[in-house]
Amino acid sequence: MVYEGAKFVKTEGRVQATLTASQMDRLSDEIARAGYASLSDTYGFGNDGYTSKSSDSPTVRTSVWHKKGIKSVDHYLGYYAGSTRFTAEINRLKAFEMAVDAIIRIEQWIGTKEERSKFEYLKRLPPLNDPSNR
């Protein structure tokens, strides 16, 4: 398993880890449940039926190695609305991403909610109730 963290995470850079047989079995189940092979290669980059977006959101890339090669999906998290078909696909993809995060215990690299709340970039922002923030 390879994790690559860019910004605003506990561990920046590339980390390789070995998963247990149990984790691999659980991942295999989630890959099948998501219909991962049938998902589009990209979501949220303007070519996939999504109409609503916000800027400066992160991108999640998942990749699955299999006998025939590699299947990767790039998911820009700033897109959140679109056609019925793409909404159904994105919901499957989000469920898959959350399951993967739980199986690999992603917080060891991105940090817990509490740890992430203390990252340096947040300290520079004015509080939401600060009048200068209007």
Q: What is the pTM of this model?
A: 0.79
Give pLDDT tens digits for 42-55: 887 766 566 666 66
Ranges assigned E (strand) in 1-134: 2-5, 13-16, 42-43, 50-53, 59-66, 69-76, 79-82
DSSP letter for 7, please.
Answer: S
pLDDT of residue 48: 59
Give the confidence band of 124 by pLDDT, cuts at 50, 70, 90.
low
Please state the length of the chain.
Answer: 134
Q: How far is CA 116 from CA 56, 63, 119, in A?
A: 17, 25, 5
Let me know: does 41 contact 75? Beta carbons within 8 Å: no
Give pLDDT tens digits for 76-109: 888 766 778 888 888 999 999 999 999 999 999 9
